[in-house]
Amino acid sequence: MTVHNHAVVWVDHRVAKIFYLGLEAVDQQTVHADLENAHLHHKANTIGSGKTHDDPQFFPAIDKALEHCESVLLVGPGNEKTLLLKHLEEGRSAKGHTFHAEPCDHPTDKEIIALGRRYFHLGEPAR
């Protein structure tokens, strides 16, 4: 895989789709959270909140996958992108890395790549 300076990450509580953006090429990596349950349900009259516990290795695995990227755009539904943003900003000791988070529902992979290209002003690759 080629080392790219820019990445766009679509993240929710179960999966992070990482797209490394270059002028011509796009590489992709997926990081999955190791959760007890794939679906979250809460039944009435049961003990517990109905929430599954977070995978403590999920954010560090994403951070490792982004270690060579100088600029990262985080997108996704819910609060996970904001929590990941906080984790990345607190964990990075080297200056010069920029992170930004924006809300984004459930786009296709092509839409995520196009969003990243617009955000980083990379334009469309030559065909």
- Residue 30: its pLDDT value, please? 96
For residue 37, pLDDT beyond 80: no
Q: Indicate the pTM of the whole model.
A: 0.81
For residue 41, pLDDT beyond 80: no
Q: Is 82 left (phi over 0), alpha (psi -120 to 50) or beta?
A: alpha
For residue 61, pLDDT beyond 80: yes
- Residue 95: its pLDDT value, please? 62
- Residue 93: its pLDDT value, please? 55
Report the C-alpha gap between 19 and 13 in whole angstroms: 18
For residue 2, pLDDT beyond 90: no
